[in-house]
Amino acid sequence: MTDPADGHSVRFGVNYTPRVGWFHHWLDFCADDVARDLDTIAELGVDHVRIFPLWPVLQPNRTLIRPRGLADVERVLKLAADRGLDVCVDGLQGHLSSFDFVPAWLTTWHRRGFFTDPEVIASTAAYLTALARACAGHPNLLGLTVGNEVNQFTGTVHPEPYPATERDVAAWLDAMIGALRAGAPAAPALHSCYDATWYDDTQPFTPVQAATLGDMTVVHSWVFNGTAQLYGPDAFETHAHARYLTEVARAFQTDPDRPVWVQEVGAPRNVLPEPFVAPFIEATVAHLTDTPDLYGITWWCSHDVSRSLADFPELEYDLGLIDERGRIKKEGLVLAEAMTQLRARRRAGAAAAERPSLLLDPTAVARRDLAPGGAFWERYMSVAREGGHPRVTLAATVEA
Amino acid sequence: MTDPADGHSVRFGVNYTPRVGWFHHWLDFCADDVARDLDTIAELGVDHVRIFPLWPVLQPNRTLIRPRGLADVERVLKLAADRGLDVCVDGLQGHLSSFDFVPAWLTTWHRRGFFTDPEVIASTAAYLTALARACAGHPNLLGLTVGNEVNQFTGTVHPEPYPATERDVAAWLDAMIGALRAGAPAAPALHSCYDATWYDDTQPFTPVQAATLGDMTVVHSWVFNGTAQLYGPDAFETHAHARYLTEVARAFQTDPDRPVWVQEVGAPRNVLPEPFVAPFIEATVAHLTDTPDLYGITWWCSHDVSRSLADFPELEYDLGLIDERGRIKKEGLVLAEAMTQLRARRRAGAAAAERPSLLLDPTAVARRDLAPGGAFWERYMSVAREGGHPRVTLAATVEA
């Protein structure tokens, strides 16, 4: 793991979406395909990939964790190491690009609390420990995430939510992060959420959990969340969204030096017409340049989803930096150059600049106020537009 | 396919539940494991097995039918052929032993009509055609079933039913059976239901569909449906249940010579304590001895479910004729002997005996009257107890 106290070196990576078969490649694992994908990814100049074993494929029965599934994950780690790439491994997928992959032992006749049932918790933890243990011996293991946006499965937005209270979630995250650490004590243990955690008052995964549990704060930035619709594809707010999330997230940290990782950010065509994509990539990265303790930026995603696969929302097909034939797209070149500039500026001390500050009183501000168009959001953006991105401080912290 | 007009030769088989990994073995296909399982199965004296590729494993995306998945199915056909065994291949599993295996493209965010959505119907049909085509060239292909008890996914019993009307189901079955025939024109194309089709008035899969669509009438007989609870583990009704289903089913046929297949029957321990199991097996087969045009009896199941796998209803662990170490159980020997006797009696002409007859007026009799304890059921059982199993005739047929 890069020393987060360094501040100059920001990790650059991609979320690895296999070119052949998308994440269904776990059913037909082919080392040659993965090797070829990673060769192209390495050409982008990245230092890491984030990977997504499918949960129901690796743990099809509650007490069956497939050794061959774990071995396939290890093969990806080795193939990545051969190319100088580190790997972050996510556990519970779970939710990916509109599809929910949930084992049969947690649906219909076997439906029970994803976040609350003691047997489910114990078995999910056992899976994460087994996965972490398989990865632990690999020197290029960058970290482990509980799962991709696990908060997708609860709250009021999901069509069939698994109920959970904030207290349930806190206990569950403790158990899951503990399970990762039990398997890989030396690797950063993380959890990831979609932005309902920050913006939706009905979401039981909370900002405090995201900002205090695990070894980093992880944010996923998607401007199709209303930002681009509200402000337009080239608006300051749209370009500043990822940075805004890092600042809001940091406000909830108790450790001010805890690293923040922009683990997912992408350029969705449903709200960013083609001419706006390259400027969005450049501006998003530029806005992140002076983010304090920025761990890394990991783009979603490596490869376009093949048009031969059905039912993805239209925007999901074009998010890649590499097309479905394996050729690096313009977006890949733009991002690589933007990251080079970001790193150069950080080495030159950009992160040390003076910044305005902004008070966030969580007793007076609801999560909807933090969301695109909300009262706090507007206040932040007007400060940022004038004097640069403010440091956000929780009112309680100031009083203390 | 055995000539159904023969009447003397009744097929004897087992539903193949792989000893290692249960149906999750499709994720870790191992020809040696399958070969060893089939060796033991052949020792039972059976002539066929019924197999169950998992639908989400073979068709993980609506437009991705995995060639390797189809190749694994073909490998089972070849391994079975090497042992003189025919194979019936089921498509949409779907429901198996309390677990629902449904692809992610048909759940939560992608939830839509299993039986009604045009894209789903077209893609499900494409899968069945591909599966049938892969199997078509194998001389030991006994038949293809649309799926295991597909009616589990609709009606009022399922916790998250996919709505469908009788008309929807008729059109859907036509499309699915047509899809099987398109891929394997020479193989019997079948569909299978659990007994709600016969007993539950809210079930959109109907007796007429079961008795007229496809190339045989298929019944699945499970006495945990209330029969054994109501009458006891050694009652006439419990022993006669499978036979009763064949007679009720035949009544709805328009072709009187259409074969009837007892494609699933088993001895569930939750209602049959150990001392009652062997008598149940013997009596169930004995009751079927003089069933006209009986195609075959296929026991559920070959191998016990390993106790290392979690969450099965208790009764599912002990249904095998072979234990989880691969040793033939007493049940296997009892069944093999019962089948030998059945075949000998049929050769001696048992099926030609005179039988009482019973009129079923479908305008006056609801499906609940056919169910265990219902008015028609009671009438049938009292006739059968006195004078042997009656031939059931639909009132409309008599009038015509």
DSSP state of A306: P
Q: Is A308 on the interface with B (CB under 8 A)?
A: yes
Instruction: Residue B102: list chain A partners with CB under 8 A.
Output: 107-108
Q: Which strands make up the sheet holding B48-51, listed edge to edge?
A: B189-190, B141-145, B86-90, B48-51, B11-15, B294-300, B260-265, B217-221
The residue with tokens 């009744």 is: B10
How many whole angstroms separate alpha carbon B102 and alpha carbon B106? 7
Q: Write the DSSP assignment of A41-64 as a string of letters.
A: HHHTT-SEEEE--BHHHH-SBTTB
Q: Write the DSSP assignment of A68-123 as a string of letters.
A: HHHHHHHHHHHHHHHTT-EEEEE--B-EETTEE---GGGSGGG---TTT-HHHHHH
d(CA B67, nearest CA chain A) in Å:
9
**Residue A368 neighbours by CB distance under 10 Å:** 15
How many whole angstroms separate alpha carbon A39 and alpha carbon A37? 5
How many whole angstroms separate alpha carbon B297 and alpha carbon B262? 5
Q: Is B165 on the interface with A (CB under 8 A)?
A: no
Contact at CB, A98 and B107, closer than 8 angstroms: no
SS3 B255: coil
Q: Is B109 on the interface with A (CB under 8 A)?
A: yes
Query: CA triplet B191, B194, B200: central angle to 5 degrees?
Result: 120
Closest CA to A191 of A126, A128, A236: A128
Mean pLDDT of chain A: 95
Within A163-288, where are the H helices? 166-183, 196-199, 207-212, 227-231, 236-251, 277-288
pLDDT of residue B52: 98
Instruction: Residue B158: list chain A partners with CB under 8 A.
Output: 108
Mean pLDDT of A340-344: 96
* Best to test chain A binding among B98, B100, B106, B109 (most A CBs inside 10 Å): B109
Contact at CB, A110 and B98, closer than 8 angstroms: yes
C-alpha torsion sign, points A307, A87, A337, A293: positive
**Residue B176 neighbours by CB distance under 10 Å:** 27
Residue A136 near residue A174 (C-beta atoms within 8 A): no
pLDDT of residue B3: 41
How many whole angstroms separate alpha carbon B154 and alpha carbon B134? 29
How many whole angstroms separate alpha carbon A63 and alpha carbon A61? 5
How buried is B30 (Cβ within 10 angstroms: 0-12 exposed, 13-18 middle, 19+ buried)? Answer: middle
CA atoms within 13 A on the CB side of A160: 17
Contact at CB, A27 and B99, closer than 8 angstroms: no
pLDDT of residue A353: 62
Residue A2 has pLDDT above 80, yes or no: no
Token representation of residue B108: 């939560």
Contact at CB, A311 and B61, closer than 8 angstroms: yes
How many whole angstroms separate alpha carbon A156 and alpha carbon A368? 14
**pLDDT (tens digit, 9 = 90+) per residue, A115-161?**
999 999 999 999 999 999 999 999 999 999 999 999 999 999 999 99
Contact at CB, B63 and A27, closer than 8 angstroms: no
Nearest to A108 among B27, B159, B309 (CB): B159
How many whole angstroms separate alpha carbon B79 and alpha carbon B180? 22
Contact at CB, A160 and B158, closer than 8 angstroms: no
* Best to test chain B binding among A107, A119, A162, A308 (most B CBs inside 10 Å): A107
Q: Which residue has the higher pLDDT, A170 or B347?
A: A170
CA atoms within 13 A on the CB side of B167: 0
Q: Write the DSSP assignment of A130-143 as a string of letters.
A: HHHHHHHT-TTEEE
Query: CA triplet A231, A237, A242: central angle to 5 degrees?
Result: 130
Token representation of residue A30: 């082919």
SS3 B220: strand
pLDDT of residue B396: 75
* Cα–Cα distances in angstroms (integers) from residue B81 to residues B130, B307, B388, in the given order: 21, 30, 39
* Best to test chain B binding among A20, A24, A106 (most B CBs inside 10 Å): A24
**pLDDT (tens digit, 9 = 90+) per residue, B262-305?**
999 999 999 999 999 999 999 999 999 999 999 999 999 999 99
Residue A317 near residue A307 (C-beta atoms within 8 A): yes
Q: Is A161 on the interface with B (CB under 8 A)?
A: no
Q: Which residue has the higher pLDDT, A285 or A2?
A: A285
How many whole angstroms separate alpha carbon A129 and alpha carbon A180? 5
Strands (E), B58-188: 86-90, 95-96, 99-100, 141-145
Q: Write the DSSP assignment of B106-119 as a string of letters.
A: GSGGG---TTT-HH
**pLDDT (tens digit, 9 = 90+) per residue, A206-262?**
999 999 999 999 999 999 999 999 999 999 999 999 999 999 999 999 999 999 999
Q: 3-state DSSP: chain A helix, strand, coil percent, rounded to 5?
A: 45, 15, 40
d(CA B154, nearest CA chain A) in Å:
12
Mean pLDDT of A179-205: 98
Mean pLDDT of A361-376: 95
Contact at CB, B108 and A62, closer than 8 angstroms: no
Nearest to B27 among A21, A57, A99 (CB): A57
How many whole angstroms separate alpha carbon B54 and alpha carbon B77? 16
* Best to test chain A binding among B106, B108, B152, B194 (most A CBs inside 10 Å): B108
How many whole angstroms separate alpha carbon B354 and alpha carbon B333? 31
d(CA B370, nearest CA chain A) in Å:
26
**pLDDT (tens digit, 9 = 90+) per residue, A43-97?**
999 999 999 999 999 999 999 999 999 999 999 999 999 999 999 999 999 999 9
Mean pLDDT of A324-338: 98
Partners of residue A300 on adjacent β-strands: A15
d(CA A67, nearest CA chain B) in Å:
9
Low-confidence ranges of chain B (pLDDT < 70): 1-8, 350-353, 397-400
What pTM did the predictor assign?
0.96
pLDDT of residue B350: 63
Closest CA to A392 of A277, A288, A279, A292: A292
Range 14-73 of A in CB contact (< 8 A) with B: 21-22, 24, 27-28, 56-57, 60-64, 66, 68-69
3-class SS string, B329-377: CHHHHHHHHHHHHHHHHHHCCHHHCCCCEEEECCCCCCHHHHCCCCHHH
